[in-house]
Amino acid sequence: MKEYLKATNVIDWKHAKILSQAKELADGKSNINDIARVCFEWVRDEIKHIDACDISTVTCKASEVIEVGAGICYAKSHLLAALLRANLIPVSFCYQRLSLDDKGPPFCLHGLNAVYLPNIGWYRIDARGNKEGLNAQFTPPKEQLAFSIHLEGEVNFPEIWPEPLPIVVKALKKYKVKEELINNLPDIPIVSV
């Protein structure tokens, strides 16, 4: 589990603001599920998704996300991972491939997390942020993600990665404003066999 707890350049959970927020969220709680839930809900509800606000700065590192107070799904998953790791809770990165317009191609990746919960194992959570038609919740063992797979070409990737995918980090670092990023969201094409 060490690789799912480590601090990295992007998941910089040893940053003072991350440590302070992680400690505040966990204060008075000893149950891992309770700490994971409150961290998830805080990122989901308090950190704005850049598509739903007038902040145009693209963030990548967890510390950037907490300082700006906003990020796209990938960046929000980076912050959630940092808060959980700061509380010594193993967390990974997961992805879905979704239609951009909910009608078919083009597709893009959507970033979320999986947290390791005692007596459950890996449990996927999506801190993207709720809005009309999206209702992600922390209800283990039942997953309640923001998006479901319902179109040909969409995929729930089963892998859990200890680090964000390089294609995601590259996009977040390359595009500095949200309009550029939204027009160049990363995708992993699916090859049929």
Cβ neighbours for 175, distance < 8 A, ≥ 6 positions apart:
58, 181, 184
CATH architecture of 2-182: Roll (3.10)
Residue % of the chain over a pLDDT of 70: 98
Per residue in 142-154, pLDDT (tens digit) is: 999 999 999 999 9
What pLDDT is stored for residue 192 in this prediction? Answer: 59
pTM of the complete model = 0.96
Domains in the chain: boundaries:
2-182
Tokens representing 189? 């094409």
Q: Distance from first CA to last CA of the chain, Å, rounded?
A: 33
Question: In this prediction, what percent of the chain has a pLDDT beyond 90?
Answer: 90
**Residues 110-128: tens digit of each pLDDT:** 999 999 999 999 999 999 9
CA distance 64 to 62: 5
Examine the pLDDT at 71 and tell me if it is beyond 90. Answer: yes
Give the amino acid at 30: S
Q: Whole-angstrom Cα distance, residue 56 to residue 39?
A: 24
Q: Cα 143 to chain center, whole Å? A: 15
Q: What's the whole-number mean pLDDT along residues 78-105?
A: 97
Mean pLDDT calculated for residue range 45-50: 94
Helix (H, G, I), strand (E, B) or coil at 156: strand
| pLDDT exceeds cutoff 60 at 193 | no
Contact 76, 49 (CB under 8 A): yes
Instruction: Report CA dihedral (68, 34, 77, 2) to the nearest 10 degrees.
Output: 120
Tens digit of each residue's pLDDT (9 = 90 or more) over 159-189: 999 999 999 999 999 999 999 999 999 999 8
54 pLDDT higher than 90: no
67, pLDDT greater than 80: yes
Give 51-56's long-range contacts (Cβ < 8 A, gap of 24+).
Answer: 51/178, 51/182, 52/129, 52/131, 55/178, 56/177, 56/178, 56/179
Q: What integer pLDDT is reported at residue 118 of this predicted model?
A: 94
